[in-house]
Amino acid sequence: MSVLRTKSIEQSIDDTTEDHEFQLKRRLTALDLTLFGIGVIIGAGIFTTTGRAAQELAGPAVVISFVVGALCCGLAALCYAELASTVPVSGSAYTFSYATLGELIAWIIGWDLFLELMLGASVVAQGWSQYFTELISHAGWALPDAVAPGSHFDLMAFVLVATLTALVAFGIKESLRVNMALVALKLFIVLFVIVAGIGFINRDNYSPFIPEATDAAAKTGVQRPLLDTILGLEPAAFGVMGIFTAASLVFFAYIGFDVVATTAEEAKNPQRDLPIGIIASLIICTVLYVAVALVITGMVKYDDIDPKAALATAFTDAGKGGYATIISAGAVAGLATVVMTLMIGATRVLFAMSRDNLLPRSLAHTNDRTGTPVRLTLIIGGLVALICSLTPIGKLEEMVNIGTLSAFALVSLAIPILRKRRPDLERSFKVPFSPVLPILSSLVCLYLMLNLSIETWLRFLVWMALGFIIYFAYSRHHAKLNRVDTDTDPDYLRA
């Protein structure tokens, strides 16, 4: 019983139609998928990461950092686009890996994605609660200390997740309609920041565009980046190396386009719509990120930027407190869409794993009316609600990043492997210059992973150890592939 057995592309696709109880409905268009991607990409990153990266690491050159981050993320996006259009099945990187790299690798990817999406939704829900509290404070309202953000029970984070869970369970198309409305509001706010901020730009704030290099604030022990520890280097701030260090940070502002791939099975025309949704959302968000970075670093000298609330504070300092209120309202709408999209992604990944019997198959049942896995949605919603309301996330945010990057790296490697094993497959979109670009994408992801702290790596290894225990104790023996007679059904299992 090989742990690297692979599931054929044909059977992955057949699984989407063979049993009505385990089918998702194809309802999403290219526009839905693009807005879906924008909804999750533009969130906490544009409201917080921009200021922190500029103030601590790159200065006005954070604009270049966003471009570098977009190029790195774009490489992975090309790989996702090819695989998602070739294997239009729910599960994203998990499904792609099952067809190319083998069952154990697929399990690892699915386990990582679940960590990324579930914990990411929890972290962003707590951020939403903080922005919501700030917004209502402008009206003179305040939550009791016992249920305010940072207390033993974050009430508003819990209410948000409970509401979004009910919405997602009700139906994917219905939740996407709400997402579309919130994304439209969020895009308006972002464009408002850009247009309104142009009038307050002081070109002197762009000088020096690349501040002189200095040593970053000292980090010791397990807080140091793994790569710096291996090479005996000090963390860099500003200068050319500061730009790349900031790129490692702002890269995570783009995380989210991969969630589009988790809805592959619900796209009306996945071969055409998935590449459009993935690539278009990434391009649109890159343009907006660069524009916002130019405005903020032009409005405020980089070393005076508030890293916690750069956009709102910049307008408050300019005497436009009303603008700051509008921006806070946009943050509330924007972060809500991120939480919803991440929860949908987590549900679809576990749905695919359950349908393959790597987790209990009963979790993959879909509702006849909504076409969604309601039971799984409620379970994940409950977990996220408890985590975000009861747990101080803190440094666990980096766990989101390491799970994502590991998935990106393996998906990139899957491109040349699948092309070699299955050259006969119809590919409506192809990564150019393969295998060079996919291998480069994987190496870039590995480099960014090594820039994460030792502490994050240790927590990641503990999470992976738990995943291995579940796989070898349950998943390996209950996998759907165990029930297939490969002599009579050679298309199901390919070595």
Residue with token string 């793994």 = 226
Dihedral sign for Cα 304, 307, 310, 316, please. negative
3-state secondary structure of 28: strand
Q: Identify whether 275 is preceded by a cis peptide bond (ω within 30 of 0).
A: no
Largest CA distance in the chain: 75
Say if residues 32 and 274 touch (Cβ distance below 8 Å): no
- pTM tops 0.95, yes or no: no
What are the structure tokens assigned to 388, written together? Answer: 């975000």
* Of 147, 162, 14, nearest in space to 88 by CA: 14
Distance in angstroms (rounded) separating the CA atoms of residues 347 and 353: 10
The helix/strand/coil state of 237 is strand
Alpha carbon distances (Å) from 420 to 207, 299, 415, 490: 51, 52, 9, 19
Q: Which residues contact 461 (CB under 8 A, 6 or more apart)?
A: none
pLDDT of the chain along its 495 residues, tens only? 577 788 776 776 666 555 555 555 666 778 888 877 787 787 666 766 777 788 888 889 999 988 888 888 888 888 888 887 777 665 667 877 887 788 998 899 899 888 888 888 888 888 788 878 878 877 788 888 888 887 889 999 999 999 999 888 876 555 667 767 777 887 888 888 899 889 889 899 998 899 888 766 556 677 777 887 888 777 667 888 788 878 877 876 777 777 776 666 677 777 778 788 888 888 888 898 899 889 989 998 888 887 666 777 788 778 787 887 887 787 787 788 788 888 888 888 898 899 889 999 888 888 777 677 888 999 999 999 999 898 876 556 677 778 888 888 888 998 998 888 888 877 878 888 989 999 999 998 898 888 788 888 998 999 999 999 999 999 998 988 876 544 444 444 443
Each residue's pLDDT tens digit, 55-111: 888 889 999 988 888 888 888 888 888 887 777 665 667 877 887 788 998 899 899
3-state secondary structure of 454: helix
The Cα 263–Cα 36 span in angstroms is 10
CA distance 471 to 461: 15
Confirm if 425 and 9 have CB atoms less than 8 A apart: yes
Could you tell me which residues come within 8 angstroms of residue 114 by beta carbon, excluding any fewer than 6 positions away? 346, 349, 350
Q: Which amino acid is at 219?
A: K
Q: pLDDT of 23-51, one tens digit each?
A: 556 667 788 888 777 877 876 667 667 77
